[in-house]
Homo-oligomer: A and B are copies of this chain.
Amino acid sequence: MQKYVFGVDVGGTTVKIGYFDLEGNVLDKWEIPTRTEDGGKNILPDVAQSIKDKMAENGIAQEEVAGVGAGVPGPVDGEGHVDVAVNLGWKDVQVRDELQNLLGVPAMAGNDANVAALGEMWRGGGLGCKNLVAVTLGTGIGGGIIIDGKLLTGADGAGGEIGHIHIVDDEPNACGCGNHGCLEQYGSATGVVTLAKRRLAKDDKASVLRDGELSAKAVFDAVKAGDEVAIDIAKEFGEILGKGLGMIASVVNPEMFVIGGGVSKAGEVLFDYIKPSYEKYVFRGSLNTRFALATLGNDAGIYGAAKLVLDAR
């Protein structure tokens, strides 16, 4: 009888692995290093070995495992195939099939940001929702869109790439994707620092941000302390991000936005800056869309990867 499901979140430096009962209670979680050398050819065998070791350690039989899901940093097609995942050194890897062969249980693979969205819906900030957009405000902006309980992966695995919505016309700097003026150039942790530098350079107004290292955390700590320059920065951040989320809602009309990633550690104060702009720009049919904080943190990926398998049964 199937009792357990494994979730794997393959990152550029570590792979997170967890296993769950079929209701999504985590039973154990751990990490192994990601060996990206030689085109990352050891990554999946390492994952498989680590799972086999854990199964042996806990006396878990193969027939008790519903399957293994994996989140991967890059586009993943409907067959669990990855064309390129730069951070892993991968080119043309059949993630689903390889995991299935290595472990002898059903496997699934998806984009990491998409899979994290599924995790937040299953056991996190999006609990109870069937239509949501998860927004991860980290170094960049990751997105995961769930429609009627299912991930929107897109025709070429590029669904939910909301960090690259064009949002500002006159941006001189290029985004990592090569375009100019992408949402993640302003709404990510890196983006907040960019906005902060530009605001600080504008005049000499006193601000705690003029001392110490600039970071999204420093900006929102200063906002909470009433620093006026920091508040200017937060307003600019909220104006741009709220507008971007409004555009997304005019397309998919979600029940909820679940906001996660490093910037979201600032907490609900973010919504004070995002919502006025969202409400100004969004089509009014999406004014009921709610905003919530993600609750699973870095574990969203392993939860969602496990759910991917359960949904495919």
* Interface of A toward B, CB cutoff 8 Å: 75, 131, 143, 145, 147-148, 150, 152-162, 164-166, 177-179, 182, 243, 246-248, 250-255, 280-286, 288-289
Q: Which of A159, A250, A255 counts the most chain B CB atoms within 10 A?
A: A250
Say yes or no: A162 contacts B289, CB within 8 Å: no
- C-alpha spacing A209/B75, complex, angstroms: 47
- C-alpha spacing A179/B251, complex, angstroms: 16
Assess A155 versus B288: contact at CB under 8 Å? Given A145-B251, A147-B147, A166-B243: yes
5 closest Cβ contacts across the A-B interface? A154-B253, A158-B285, A164-B283, A155-B255, A158-B253
A-B contact pairs, 24 of them (CB 8 A): A147-B147, A147-B152, A155-B254, A156-B253, A156-B285, A156-B286, A157-B253, A157-B285, A158-B250, A158-B253, A158-B285, A158-B286, A159-B251, A159-B252, A161-B253, A161-B283, A162-B250, A164-B250, A166-B250, A177-B283, A179-B283, A182-B283, A247-B251, A248-B251
- C-alpha spacing A148/B285, complex, angstroms: 24
Say yes or no: A158 contacts B283, CB within 8 Å: yes
Main secondary structure of the interface of A (DSSP, over half): loop
Assess A145 versus B250: contact at CB under 8 Å? Given A179-B283, A284-B177, A285-B75: no
Smallest CB gap from A247: residue in B? B165
Say yes or no: A288 contacts B156, CB within 8 Å: yes
Say yes or no: A251 contacts B155, CB within 8 Å: no
Smallest CB gap from A253: residue in B? B154
Say yes or no: B154 contacts A131, CB within 8 Å: yes
